[in-house]
Amino acid sequence: MADDLNWSEVASSNVAKVAHDPQAQRLHVEFKDGGRYVYHGVDAAAHADLMAAKSVGSHLYKNVVSSYRGEKFKEPEPE
């Protein structure tokens, strides 16, 4: 579940916070408009590059969105 991850707030005009699951190689991104997306196959090095980028939003679009499969995050249905 994405809420179990360690989220990091980022300085960005569009991105609110980011979390990475290194075992599953998933990058979770929450935007300031409330939208949440998960990108699959993102390794620790790609996550570190994103977090170190001068512009997180630009780096996300140029290097993550264009290179990894992403989808809008949906909370699991309660049982």
pLDDT at 1: 47
Residue (of 33, 32, 41) closest to 63 by Cα position: 41
**Which one-letter amino acid corresponds to residue 13?**
S
Q: Is 29 helix (H, G, I), strand (E, B) or coil?
A: strand
pLDDT at 20: 97
pLDDT at 4: 81
pLDDT at 78: 67
The pTM assigned to this predicted structure is 0.87
pLDDT at 73: 84
Q: From CA 75, how far away is CA 36, in angstroms rounded? A: 10
**Mean pLDDT, each 10-residue run in order, the chain (79 residues):** 81 96 96 95 97 96 96 76
